[in-house]
Structure 1
Amino acid sequence: MARKSKTETPKTTAQQLGSLIKSARDIMRKDKGLNGDLDRLPMLTWILFLKFLDDMEKMRETEATLEGKKFKPAIEPPYRWRDWAAKEDGITGDELIAFINNEETSRPDGTIGPGLFTYLRDLHGANGGDRRDVIATVFKGTINRMVNGYLLRDVMNKVNNIHFTASEEIHTLSHLYETMLKEMRDTAGDSGEFYTPRSVIRFMVEVTDPRLGDVVLDPACGTGGFLVETFEHLRKQCKRTENVRKLQKESIFGADAKPLPYLLCQMNLLLHGLEYPQIDPGNSLRFPLREIGDKDRVDVILTNPPFGGEEERGILSNFPEDKQTAETALLFLQLIMRKLRRPIGGKKGGRCGIVVPNGTLFGDGVCARIKKELLEEFNLHTIVRLPNGVFAPYTGIPTNLLFFERDGAAREIWYYEIPLPEGRKQYTKTQPMQFEEFKPVIEWWKDRRENEHAWKVSAGKIIENGYNLDVKNPNGKQDLEHLPPEQLVESILRKELRIAEIMNEIKQILAEGIKP
């Protein structure tokens, strides 16, 4: 009987790239300078970043040559990827580490000059705002933590097999990169930083619906989830060359003060096709509110600012005296209100979708004064109450999505409470909320009517109740998790007292039952 020939199924592009990245990360695990994925991901990111830039530069150089134009590279020899990283038998070991880390070093072409990171940090654009400025800002907050130059050479050889000149590979890598970001997010949660699930981001972008020509901002952009989703949303609206130019140059803006999220955001946006990410590496709260004028305002803000964290005293002085608070979420809410474009010359005012913790809804004092301004000067029209565990494993704090516009005072506020899927108690890291669960809300958004999950309240009633936005669903059972603290404590005490009464009754029954 003839033996059947065994054939291997060819690997897809996704499998090949996934295998390359896994191999690179496996190599990194052997390096003693790296401590877990929180170190390995940024290491792999800056390596991918430089490979990506070099591939893009090659494409632009070819295009310029064909058009008879002069090409000015962002990175000059011998610092391009092709000069020091592309050859499998290129510089390695201590020589490679010295070239990357040292301020002055022997370079791959045999000359003495600045080390790689020193050179990259000192780049300057001709007129500001070009790719050289982006590169310089990225590497100001980047450190090479690998200490073994031979392992680093192995990593670079793996990455060198990824070709960013192929659109399929760029698309596939962007998805793989999103997976890597999710892995890094498992270590998040410090200083109130909770990365937003993609399903929540996609929903917020869809219902806010940024249009081509809008200026969109995320003042606490993290790894760029809202900006990437907005970019994809706007890209579908591009029909002409000038539309693409507007999208690339005038539409997407962000800010994040932490070096690691800043680097990851840049890479994330570049991989998705935004050629010149305009991300501010500073704290968005560093500017006094009174200095923010019409030229600084934007059409759309989509964001999940840190909550639970605290800002330093110097930041608080940028806010009105009666609205100063250490709670970061409330400071960002004030900043956003100030940054939204005012309705001028027939043009509509700006609009916002923001994630807030439940405490923002029922908070009093400074929080109530901020909400007073929100209701009197902005149209807070919708509050979507998210189910329990959406931000697991980072936090169990109940969260809400606020949607408001700068076009006059609020008149009535719609609430929509998203239920957990049947049989689920909460979401988890391995079973997160899916975008499909937002479909009923999206349909309701177009034709609003009260139902078991949706209800509306007049702004006047909210004002009468001390600006407490924590309004329970009149059509559903009361959820203790959404009670204000004082009511929650009272409810727990009542239950504890009732338990004590029952225990005493049981004790008496038992005592009577064992009498001689």
Structure 2
Amino acid sequence: MSPKKSAAPQTTAQQLAAIIKSARNTMRKDKGLNGDLDRLPMLTWIMFLKFLDDMELMRETNAQLAGQPFRPDLAPPYRWRDWGADPTGMTGEDLIAFVNNDEAMRPNGSRGAGLFYYLRGLRSAAGADRRDVIGTVFRGMQNRMADGYLLREVINQINRIHFTATQEMHTLSRLYETLLREMRDAAGDSGEFYTPRPAVRFMVQVMDPRLGETVLDPACGTGGFLVEAFSHMQAQCRCVADEKTLQTASIRGGEAKSLPYLLAQMNLLLHGLDHPQIDPGNSLRIPLRDITDQDRVDLILTNVPFGGEEDRGILGNFPKDRQTAETALLFLQLIMRRIKRPGAGKDRGGRAGVIVPNGTLFGDGIAARIKEDLLKHYNLHTIVRLPEGVFAPYTDIPSNLIFFDRSGPTRDIWYYQVSLPEGKRKFTKTKPMEDGDFADCLAWWSDRAEGPNAWRVSSADVLKYDSEGRLMSVNLDIKNPHSLEALEHREPEELVESILAKENEVLQLLLQMKADLSAAL
């Protein structure tokens, strides 16, 4: 039987931040690491293993108190307590060999599988417990620290964190989000797996996931949408049964890249989800025709990958006239297929909030056919147009938030243009978007009216067919008719007609006022 840990003293937020900073500073001394792109994954897998051991000790204690058998996920000597907890334990070349090599001298003095080799081989009998998560995480992970003495220092620093303390977990979750943002800023063309949190929080708030619903992000990156959805539903829990529903039937994700898969797992664990259900495969690998009602969910929230290309095997999962190299359009088709159909008390069926690049709105050809499907078979009720620089420094490509459900075909599409704060020309890395920038849109969402930032378009005006009924275009890139940009792109005759129409409206109002005054006298 493993010795029980005594209750750890509470660590303050400042102390936790200092521990993380100290560990990162230690890593900077190691020549094997290349900036934050290497340091954060290193820090994350070390924290991941410490977290697992703390959870194991809690589960073991609870099982003993309940008189139930306990089966650990990790066997000795691969638990943190076996090789990481003793500050004077294995270090230097011995530690590096134990972590990196397929076979090495282990902390208990015997020879056997090295740490990563053991972890990569973990699997459950049924493919549905934490061992599968651990195995998947470490199959795509490498230890890049070359100095075993520095690695021991980092391990000792992380060992001071108590993952069993609720307040510390809350603080760590916020610190971790800061680390993810810093990694995004340093990632260059790999920053796509971090979505700005103000956009994420806005989308979760207006979509309002309810306890008992299942939320999916098929391209979850570091888990931002899933974390926010989890927290949103957690506030609705009132009893043990609610907590069980939240933990087991509410959050689903997909992430094919090993690094963001690890980062998402840690992000969700720190926020309180005990067993994150993240699919490590490509979400596009399942043919659309094979998706059944059991695969459909209540709500999808995601920032679709764009600009990439999929291999021919993936394209074969889509209808021949809907196959495209643009990943964003493939994910849009997947999302349309994965939200629930109406029925069983859900008149609207499933719903989705999706971030798409501007090209998705105005694209022709295959893009137009996909958008025709969207408008004819789904209710695309809202498009929120984001200002420039929201995704800086990763990309300056304009982006949009589209919202649709399965309540029926689209009749009208509401547009809302999020304005830049006064005095700003664009958002930047140093002056990013903030939650308050969505305040006006939030106020408008539930009480809609046309105005300087809001306008409405009929789907019949968007779907363009030739005389023989063949689709010509589906242009959703509708400019704000109240903006200077829209006026600059209008034909002179159209501008004259618009001015005359407005003048006539004013004249009619004046005549009515005159008639009312005459009647009053």
TM-score over 0.5 (shorter chain): yes
Task: Give 1:391 deviation, angstroms.
Answer: 0.6
Equivalent in the alignment of 1:502: none
Label 1:388 to 1:194 Cα distance change in 2 as closer, same or farther (>3 A).
Answer: farther
Residue 471 (str. 1) matches residue 478 (str. 2): yes
Equivalent in the alignment of 2:397: 397
Does structure 2 retain, via aligned residues, the 8 Å contact 1:192–1:309? no
Matches of residues 106-505 of structure 1 in structure 2 within 5 Å? Answer: 106-190=105-189, 193=192, 195-348=194-347, 349-464=349-464, 466-478=473-485
Q: Which SS does the other structure have where 2:419 is aligned? A: coil
Residue 48 (str. 1) matches residue 52 (str. 2): no
Task: Give 1:347 deviation, angstroms.
Answer: 2.6
Task: Give 1:127 deviation, angstroms.
Answer: 3.2
Does structure 1 retain, via aligned residues, the 8 Å contact 2:416–2:454? yes
Equivalent in the alignment of 1:509: none
User: Partners in 2 of 1:168 and 1:191 — Cα distance?
Assistant: 32
Does structure 2 retain, via aligned residues, the 8 Å contact 1:188–1:195? no
Does structure 2 retain, via aligned residues, the 8 Å contact 1:194–1:391? no
Moved more, 272-281 or 57-66: 57-66
User: Partners in 2 of 1:330 and 1:444 — Cα distance?
Assistant: 29
Task: Give 1:104 deviation, angstroms.
Answer: 1.5
Equivalent in the alignment of 1:70: 69
Q: Which SS does the other structure have where 1:57 is aligned? A: helix
AA aligned opposite 1:410: T
Moved more, 30-39 or 124-133: 124-133
Task: Give 1:317 deviation, angstroms.
Answer: 1.4
Q: Which SS does the other structure have where 1:420 is aligned? A: coil
Task: Give 1:467 deviation, angstroms.
Answer: 1.4
Taking structure 1 as the reference length, what is the TM-score of the superposition? Answer: 0.89
User: Partners in 2 of 1:108 and 1:163 — Cα distance?
Assistant: 23
Task: Give 1:479 deviation, angstroms.
Answer: 6.1
Equivalent in the alignment of 2:497: none
Task: Give 1:464 deviation, angstroms.
Answer: 3.4
Does structure 1 retain, via aligned residues, the 8 Å contact 2:51–2:163? yes
Task: Give 1:189 deviation, angstroms.
Answer: 4.8
Q: CA-to-partner distance for each residue in 1:81-135, whole Å, 9 max, x for gaps?
A: 0110111110001110111111122111112221111111122224331111111
Label 1:421 to 1:447 Cα distance change in 2 as closer, same or farther (>3 A).
Answer: same
Does structure 1 retain, via aligned residues, the 8 Å contact 2:380–2:404? yes
User: Partners in 2 of 1:194 and 1:144 — Cα distance?
Assistant: 21
Does structure 2 retain, via aligned residues, the 8 Å contact 1:188–1:194? no
Task: Give 1:141 deviation, angstroms.
Answer: 0.9
Q: Which SS does the other structure have where 2:88 is aligned? A: coil
AA aligned opposite 2:420: L
User: Partners in 2 of 1:483 and 1:88 — Cα distance?
Assistant: 68
Q: CA-to-partner distance for each residue in 1:446-481, whole Å, 9 max, x for gaps?
A: 11111110011111111138311111111222169x
Task: Give 1:483 deviation, angstroms.
Answer: 8.1
Q: Which SS does the other structure have where 2:137 is aligned? A: helix
Q: Which SS does the other structure have where 2:253 is aligned? A: strand
Q: Which SS does the other structure have where 2:340 is aligned? A: coil
Note the residue ranges of structure 1 that are not aligned, 5 or more in a row.
Answer: 1-10, 488-516
User: Partners in 1 of 2:227 and 2:345 — Cα distance?
Assistant: 30
Taking structure 2 as the reference length, what is the TM-score of the superposition? Answer: 0.88
User: Partners in 2 of 1:42 and 1:442 — Cα distance?
Assistant: 36
Does structure 1 retain, via aligned residues, the 8 Å contact 2:185–2:191? no
User: Partners in 2 of 1:202 and 1:395 — Cα distance?
Assistant: 20
Does structure 1 retain, via aligned residues, the 8 Å contact 2:77–2:107? yes
Q: CA-to-partner distance for each residue in 1:262-285, whole Å, 9 max, x for gaps?
A: 000000000000000000111111
Q: What RMSD, in angstroms, separates the aligned Cα atoms of the two structures?
A: 1.8
User: Partners in 2 of 1:268 and 1:343 — Cα distance?
Assistant: 33
Matches of residues 7-22 of structure 1 in structure 2 within 5 Å? Answer: 13-22=12-21
Q: Which SS does the other structure have where 2:384 is aligned? A: strand
Equivalent in the alignment of 2:505: none
Does structure 1 retain, via aligned residues, the 8 Å contact 2:387–2:420? yes
User: Partners in 2 of 1:96 and 1:69 — Cα distance?
Assistant: 35
Note the residue ranges of structure 2 that are not aligned, 5 or more in a row.
Answer: 1-9, 466-472, 492-521
Q: CA-to-partner distance for each residue in 1:305-361, whole Å, 9 max, x for gaps?
A: 111222222211111111111111111001111111111334331100000111111
Task: Give 1:199 deviation, angstroms.
Answer: 0.2
User: Partners in 1 of 2:49 and 2:457 — Cα distance?
Assistant: 53
